[in-house]
Structure 1
């Protein structure tokens, strides 16, 4: 390919956030369209700590669609990737045919090069596929001038990706139609709504999880009676209560619902046959620590939730954050010298009373937690304006440092 072939490369870079469900999505009623058996609700985490960055280039000189994830070329023919590409191109053609002045007529038929990196461990139960597919769909939509219901497209890549298209607090409505057009994400409240809310991610293990979410859900839907009961009888009212708790910034109600829903999700994993264990001994100790801490104060100051993996996501308010962080460091003494143990937002240190240590009354577990990410609620996807931050070079291939 000659250099002049590259002068007409169109390129755009965007970032998208991770979201953590407080009312869990587990189980599909349609595997193809990724339609859930229940609605769910999540908190979007701040991109300063956790994000996917994606650059997409398109040019008539590209021979085929290609994708690189975290420095390694992957198979673009993955069915879920294909359905996102196909859907966005379909929407772009539809838009072009309607004569919209902003649509770029030529580029829809061009091949694309996609390069994507996460600033956090992939497949460690940190919802990397949600951020990844949300970023892919959002970046494609910017490239091809497509707007409209992007959450329907992102959902077909990874269910929870539809929730990463918004900042703040987001519900994914399960919908009723069989074609999935009403299974969409909607913002419940923006990231500015509850400024005191803080999030700690306790990274227990950054290894890949034993049972992937897709196959785990599939087995649960087939074998767990509790899952069916949860979807039909528990989640609908829980969604309403959770939305109310968020709108009123009622932490006690938010925290209790969050913990109960996490526990029930893991109970359905246990009720699956054969059972699925995402939590390990350290996860169980964290659960115990949180309940003992709350019990000591006679109120819910801290809440945990666990996705399909052993890492804990802790919600608390700014005023309780320094003390609770010290509690975690006391009962899970870090291997490293404190420096790299806490990443993200700095937290003032706070002394621990002997009374509190006695009340919690657990044996400290050294090296139980590898590190902690301190973050807060954050915004949805955004376009990166600085061309120096593109992950692809002018030749459409990943830059050496990307």
Structure 2
């Protein structure tokens, strides 16, 4: 379990956020101001720091500077109020992972914490064990299933009815939910419906008895990834859970990469205060603007490449350069071979050129290239306005999970 240091001077907000972070399966240490936060950071050595930017005495930026000086690898997420976006972007230049606007959107916080956990686990080659909720009202098969699933190194929470399933789901973040269709107090279909209304970041598998096929189909419409008939075949169950986990990790990775691409676009767009990525670079500011943009992009932990339509490389950020053993001039087979060091394995020149063609036809969209079980590349079009308008493609990469 990763440890989170939460620094927030508003007592009510801090306690509510701490409760949510604990639900997300983190240990939480709370600090009521920046000074106490720095002291706790030095004594508790947290993996992640959540801090408000605007605080009395020692503000969030000073916390950021201190944390990064003492522990450059610590992931930091900052909270910003109205009018503090400039400061938030400056914080990202200092190595902050993400910023969240107040009032805090809990889904956005969950995603930021997920991104931070992913980076920590990949950096240290640690495996994150999934949490599974098992809801089955018959005691003997429930105990048997729990024992089998725990042998797979999965954390299993077993309950005997739908109300207990919903209560456990509310209190602890789950990755996979196993639900019997027919349960006392609250049936599986209604429990799934209420769970989806609370949180959509999980996959569900339904157990059905003879004659329950219609209910199983309704469960699939409510977002269940699969259903299994009882008595449950154990090999089939494990295989189905593994496929569900693969889908869950892939969907999370897509959300994480999309957010990182949003941050990259915000940073670039911030140069000209435009919402779309248009760099207005005229002759008298070309060098200064490009240097500024490059410094901002270098602060993003995700490997990024900017290319021409002909696959010539215009720019690679620091994370990308560090991942390669040479400096390529264009997207070619040698570069694709080196990208395997990042976990980008199933990628071809044809895939990239096809994605670029689509972007030039539909400039406002994102193109996603799946390059492995959990790896992908996100592409988007950017425009540079100088003496002439030029278009480039920004590629953000996410390699295979280390586990």
After TM superposition, is the score higher than 0.5?
no
TM-score, L = length of structure 1: 0.26
Larger % of helix: which? 2
Higher relative contact order (CA 8 A, sep 6+): 1
Compare CA radii of gyration and give the structure with the larger one: 2
